[in-house]
Homo-oligomer: A and B are copies of this chain.
Amino acid sequence: MNAEIISVGTELLLGTTVDSNAAFLGRVLAECGIGCTNRQTVGDNLDRLTAAIELAFKRAEIVVTIGGLGPTLDDLTRDGIARALDDPLILDLELEGEIREIFATRNLKWVESNARQAMRPTCGEAIENRNGTAPGLICRKNGKVLIALPGPPREFQPMVSGPVRQLLATLGNAVIYSRVLRVCGLGESRVEELVRDLMDGENPTVAPYAKTMEVHLRVTARAETTDDAANLIQPVAKEIRRRLDWRVFGTDETTLEAAVIHKLRKCGLTISASESCTGGLLGGRLTSVPGSSESFVGAVIAYTDAVKVQFLGVLPTTLDAESAVSEAVAKEMAEGTRKKFATDFAISITGVAGPGDDDRGNPEGLVYIGLATAEGTTVTKHQFGKGRESIRNRATQAALTLLWERLQN
């Protein structure tokens, strides 16, 4: 069973958009045991899109298009499919009703062009889009399958991870199954050093991927069934956990913030935070986890010295003597936060996000992170290199790693 992906969009050819969707889908195809030998990218042009679908069906039983399903005139994928399959488009009134309902729920003005999104070939059925208005399509004709998916990643990815993956799994005949072990607190080369012998295996394979201050170890096995593949993976995953210990904070899609929140909930602990240079990123990540309100009480984004004094009780004399980016201020912030919010834990972040050093001579990338608990307060000092976005993300990740490490005891 072979599949071919066609990415549709002039913005892909012009290079203004990097095609991460095709890679995402490629991984899912591989996991479902479906081969993929060719991929095509075409612009928003009906003739070329039609030719691409026709060519793909000469090489593959399954063709998946990405993009071009929106309401505007340059969204031509439906028309291309209809021409390539020689199957006319009809207006699906039930679909139109559903799209109108989305507009009504969101209080958006209905524009007639939106009805285009309810068009489908007669052989097509819709795939629900929970994050947008354009439904996907599955068309079956002459023993071949065409799947059409919308381009915006937040609509595309859930559709692929859900119904499309289910369909592909039934079409594929061998199973390639992966588990990802997520590691914090160690660099990629150190992780590799610790598991290098496991990386020589052929089934399962072990491959490291470096993320922002995180390493993901993908363990992949090939077998006839998912259970068989999982059984091949299990002893290797166990050995990795033995070697890396608490640093493996989760598997697959588990984020570090989710691991932290779940651990806090399990231990019945509450937490609060105060953020200076990260400006809300830590709060944003912690509250991205459903149910975080059971443990996360609140935070102060203390972007000025005055706010640090007024809301957190930091002493003006400490700010004067040590500057806002100092071990002493991180300590007072964490302790003041814990007191004001009356939580078990409180974390503070203060640093120089840049660009450039601050007016007290603290270098760009210098960050202090405080952690206050009933047993006392610890402050760690970090130097995160250059770049505002990078420094802010690294500081947030370091705060979560410190919390995670602390929660192991």
Instruction: Report the nearest B residue to A273, measured CB to CB.
Output: B301
Q: Select A283's contact among B18, B23, B280, B384, beta carbons within 8 Å.
A: B280
Q: Does A114 contact B (CB under 8 A)?
A: yes
Q: Select A279's contact among B12, B27, B44, B288, beta carbons within 8 Å.
A: B288
Q: Which of the four size classes fits the interface of chain A?
A: 35 or more
Q: Type the 1/0 row for A17-39, where 1 means its CB is closer than 8 Å to any CB of B.
A: 11110111111111000001111
Per DSSP, chain A at the interface is mixed
Q: Does A71 contact B (CB under 8 A)?
A: yes
Q: Give Cα A23–Cα B130 distance, bound, in whole angstroms.
A: 29
Given contacts A15-B27, A280-B301, contact A73 B187 (CB under 8 A): no
Complex contact A287–B298 (CB within 8 A): no
Q: Does A139 contact B (CB under 8 A)?
A: no
Instruction: Report the nearest B residue to A281, measured CB to CB.
Output: B284
Given contacts A37-B43, A280-B301, A303-B297, contact A24 B15 (CB under 8 A): yes
Within 8 Å CB of A317, what residues of B? Answer: none
Q: Does A286 contact B (CB under 8 A)?
A: yes
Given contacts A189-B71, A287-B303, A303-B298, contact A386 B130 (CB under 8 A): yes
Complex contact B14–A27 (CB within 8 A): yes
Q: Give Cα A354–Cα B40 distance, bound, in whole angstroms.
A: 39
Q: Give Cα A298–Cα B314 distance, bound, in whole angstroms.
A: 15
Q: Does A107 contact B (CB under 8 A)?
A: yes
The stretch from A79-87, A206-214, A233-241 touching chain B is A206-214
Q: Does A74 contact B (CB under 8 A)?
A: yes
Within 8 Å CB of A13, what residues of B? Answer: 26, 36-39
Q: Does A57 contact B (CB under 8 A)?
A: no
Q: Does A362 contact B (CB under 8 A)?
A: no
Within 8 Å CB of A11, what residues of B? Answer: 207, 209, 218
Q: Give Cα A23–Cα B22 distance, bound, in whole angstroms.
A: 13
Interchain nearest-CB distance for A321 vs B (Å): 21
Given contacts A284-B281, A290-B355, contact A37 B26 (CB under 8 A): no
Interchain nearest-CB distance for A388 vs B (Å): 6
Q: A15-B26, A70-B210, A280-B280 are in contact. List 20 more A-B contacts (CB 8 A).
A: A12-B23, A14-B220, A15-B23, A15-B29, A17-B23, A38-B41, A39-B41, A39-B42, A73-B199, A74-B207, A109-B190, A113-B193, A130-B386, A279-B284, A288-B392, A297-B307, A298-B304, A299-B300, A300-B301, A301-B301
> What is A's interface to B at a CB cutoff of 8 Å?
10-20, 22-30, 36-45, 48, 52, 70-74, 102, 105-109, 111, 113-114, 130-131, 152, 154, 178, 187-190, 192-193, 196, 199, 207-212, 218, 220, 273, 275, 277-284, 286-288, 290, 292-293, 296-304, 306-307, 310-311, 340-341, 353-355, 382-390, 392
